[in-house]
Structure 1
Amino acid sequence: MNDLWVFGYASLMWKPGFKFIEKRRARLAGYHRALCITSWEHRGTRERPGLVMGLDNGGACVGLAFKVAPEDREDVIAYLRERELVTNVYLERMGKVTLDDGERVDALIYVADHRHEQYAGRLTVADATERVCGAVGGMGPNEEYVLNTADHIKDMGIKDHWLQAVAESIRQRSS
């Protein structure tokens, strides 16, 4: 059985929630990190939806790859499906990621489903800020999620100018 790697690009980077035996910086080609998913479970409600990240088509995304021990494989997959597939806005796929040493491995990824009603598409900084500010879901305030993700990405030395602009706009609005 092949090793199970899981690619994290947003909250999985700072709050994976599952057991892993190794964590490495990794790059996924063909998708980019985007605040493109309407959230009415974790970071919003149907009455006041928020936004969460998705892997959207095009570009590349730098994040973290987590290696899972063989004995934990089924439990981790079950956990991720419960966490990520609540409303089926993500498509579960395997994707090739390049680890920090150049090794390429297959990793479990969750990509945005463009056909799903929760797919928000490409938003302006102002539109994203408006949707995020004040939204609260079962996992807490939407602002917390976006700011934690933006801060973690920045601390890793990853440049994401659009996300940083959204984070700055949220901070200005909150002060």
Structure 2
Amino acid sequence: MSANTIEHNRTRQNFDGVSSVWLFGYGSLIYKVDFPFLEKRPATIRGWQRRFWQGSHDHRGTPEAPGRVVTLIENREARCKGIAYRVSPSVFEHLDVREKNGYLRLTIQLTFEDGSHAEGLVYIATEDNEAFLGHASEEDIARQITSASGPSGPNSEYLLRLAESLRMLGEECPHTFAIESHMQSAHNVDTKGG
């Protein structure tokens, strides 16, 4: 599947007669909210885990030196906490462009902190998109993130802002925090000249 998913996403859901939709954010949508929303609530999804397995050729890297950003990988035992936004369907005009590098809009079941549930949409980059990088050690991912930069800024900024946002949410994400730790350790070694 092509990395550019704009047109594909525009045919995935029919919003006729729909005034608002829940959107689940688990990566940069947690901290970079460049779209209007009607309501914002912490939420959890089950059966998915956050992983830095998607290449970023357009935001946090280049085609020659892609960065790494998060996607969701199926895991029946996992749960992933993020932020749910209730948005007008017109918001997807913008978000489909922002999330065009391999991400598809999928339907998902959200659980809010009060135990209530709602159906929502989430952008997931599946392994059949050409920008998917897949599994690597957290140390190798940290190394790639440290060296990548793109039109939206350094890949390291994405990682650090996501880690900070997850801590503020009270979300334990060992994968993200391990990559952050590897990156900071490498930075400390570099600044000490060793």
SS in 1 for 2:89: helix
Select the residue among 155, 165, 168 that pairs with 1:142: 155
| Counterpart for residue 84 of structure 2 | 65
Alpha-carbon distance in structure 2 between the residues aligned to 1:117 and 1:134: 21
TM norm structure 1: 0.91
Q: Secondary structure at the match of 1:73?
A: coil
Q: Secondary structure in 2 aligned to 1:16?
A: coil
User: Which letter maps to 2:83?
Assistant: L
Residue 13 of structure 1 aligns with an amino acid whose one-letter code is I
Distance 2:161 2:81 in 1: 16
Q: Does 1:52 align with 2:98?
A: no
Q: State whether structure 2 residue 60 is matched by structure 1 residue 39.
A: no
Tell me the distance in 1 between the aligned counterparts of 2:61 and 2:46. 30
Partner letter of residue 60 of structure 1?
R
RMSD: 1.3
**1:143 is paired with a residue of what secondary structure?**
helix
The answer as to whether partners of 2:107 and 2:120 remain within 8 angstroms in 1 is: yes
**Alpha-carbon distance in 2 for matches of 1:125, 1:118:** 19
For 1:64, the aligned partner's letter is I
1:113 pairs with 112, 116, 126, which one? 126
Q: Kindly state the Cα deviation for residue 3 of structure 1 after the two structures are TM-superposed.
A: 3.2
Quote the Cα distance in structure 2 between the aligned partners of 1:97 and 1:123: 29
Question: Structure 1 residue 55: deviation in Å?
Answer: 1.4
Match of 2:97 among 71, 75, 82: 82
Q: By how many angstroms is 1:53 displaced?
A: 0.7
Whole-angstrom CA distance in 2 between matches of 1:44 and 1:112: 16
Of residues 118-127 and 146-155 in structure 1, the stretch that sits farther from structure 2 once superposed is: 118-127
User: Which blocks of at least 5 consecutive residues in structure 1 are unaligned?
Assistant: none
How many residues end up aligned between the 2 structures? Answer: 169
* SS in structure 2 at match of 1:52: strand
TM normalised by structure 2 equals: 0.83
Q: Percent sequence identity over matched residues?
A: 33
Deviations 1:67-98, CA, capped at 9 Å, x for gaps: 12xxx421x1111101001x3x1121111111
Q: Is the 8 A contact 2:60 2:154 kept in 1?
A: yes
Tell me what 1:4 maps to: 21
If you compute each CA radius of gyration, which structure gives the higher value, 1 or 2?
Answer: 2
